[in-house]
Amino acid sequence: MGCVRPPPSLPPRFGLDPARMRLPVSDEWATVRDHVVGRVPLSPAQVDAMFAAGRFHDQHGPLPIDAPYVSGGSVWFHRDLPDEAPVPFAVEVAFREDRVLVADKPHFLATIPRGRHVRETALVRLRDEHGLPDLSPAHRLDRPTAGVVLFVIAREDRGTYQNLFRDRRVSKTYEAIAPYRPDLGTPQVVRSRIVKERGIVTAREVDGEPNAETLVEVLEYRDDPALGAIARYRLTPHTGRTHQLRLHLCSLGVPILGDTFYPRVRDVGLDDFRAPLQLLARTLSWPDPRTDEPVTVHSRRRLQAWDDPAGWAAGP
């Protein structure tokens, strides 16, 4: 009863595995239904309707409403999904081989399901579009950030690739569009201590031993009629703290264009796809775990504020 994988009778829906509910070792409940009523935030009538529709399964198939409670067992079901604003941009495949897939993620698409974003995530779309039910990310990009993200195709390979990131054997470069300051002095290495507190959307820099490091370089700059003096920056992070690149450019006095968190939080609707954050994960490099040969993947995306500044500036 305690198998980890979902039962064959309840396949993924929209690329999402069903939720697993473990049944505690107890004789407190006579039926599975009695236990479910106390576990899920639904009325008894809603739970009964789900049983009637065959939505609760064990490893043998759908459970009837009077199915006896099995101490230590498991039950699977698909949760109701939140209403989501469709993200009108495709997630593309930049690289694929037998063990990994590198997605070229658009702005506004979250990497994995979380909170109000479930179906409109790169993971769910890729699982559904490419028939890869066990696909999982080896790392993540923030929802506003576009660019390359590494996914692992098979469950048994997940740890191998996650360990590459843990051991800092993966190299990443980003590009950003931000104001240009001739007095900035680049290339420059920015080091600071960044903390992110649970329940607070922004991270912050505090005094103390640095735990975040970014190499900042100016690739080119110009005076633009719509945006003023702007530059295209290359950012090479040597650590991976939450919002590290956004904080480090902001601390230099050149916040990334389109940033709704730094230097101040701005309220923008989830269905407002104008003026995306001008931050792009440009390259991703790692040693192949089998051969140790280097693999490098490049994003094919472009940052709008550099290519079409007037169009980008027409946003909010």
Q: What number is the average pLDDT over the span 47-57? A: 94
What local confidence, expressed as pLDDT, does residue 3 receive?
Answer: 47
Same domain, 235 and 300: yes
Same domain, 186 and 292: yes
CA–CA separation, 172 and 185 (whole Å): 22
What local confidence, expressed as pLDDT, does residue 316 receive?
Answer: 53
Same domain, 53 and 162: no
Same domain, 147 and 249: yes
Q: Give the containing element (helix H, strand E) for 230.
A: strand 228-237
What local confidence, expressed as pLDDT, does residue 1 receive?
Answer: 39
Catalytic annotation, residues: 142
Tell me the average pLDDT of the chain: 93
Q: What is the pLDDT of residues 77-128, one digit of tens each?
A: 988 877 788 899 999 999 999 999 999 999 999 999 877 778 899 999 999 9
Same domain, 127 and 73: no
Q: Characterise 313 by phi-psi region: left (phi > 0), alpha (psi -120 to 50), beta (else).
A: alpha
Percentage of the chain exceeding pLDDT 70: 97
In this prediction, residue 2 has a pLDDT band, given cuts at 50, 70 and 90, of very low
pTM of this structure:
0.82
Do the domain assignments include residue 256?
yes
CA–CA separation, 112 and 151 (whole Å): 11
Same domain, 224 and 256: yes
Same domain, 40 and 188: no
Same domain, 149 and 276: yes
> Which domain does 57 fall in, by range?
19-77
Same domain, 34 and 113: no
Give the bridge partners for 316, in sequence order: none
Same domain, 73 and 97: no
Same domain, 63 and 99: no
CA–CA separation, 140 and 105 (whole Å): 10
CA–CA separation, 256 and 264 (whole Å): 12
Q: Is the pLDDT assigned to residue 232 strictly greater than 80?
A: yes
Do the domain assignments include residue 313?
no
Q: What number is the average pLDDT over the span 209-233? A: 96
Q: What is the pLDDT of residues 6-35, one digit of tens each?
A: 888 898 887 778 889 999 999 999 999 999
Same domain, 68 and 120: no
Here the CATH number for the domain that contains residue 171 is: 3.30.2350.10
Do the domain assignments include residue 301?
yes
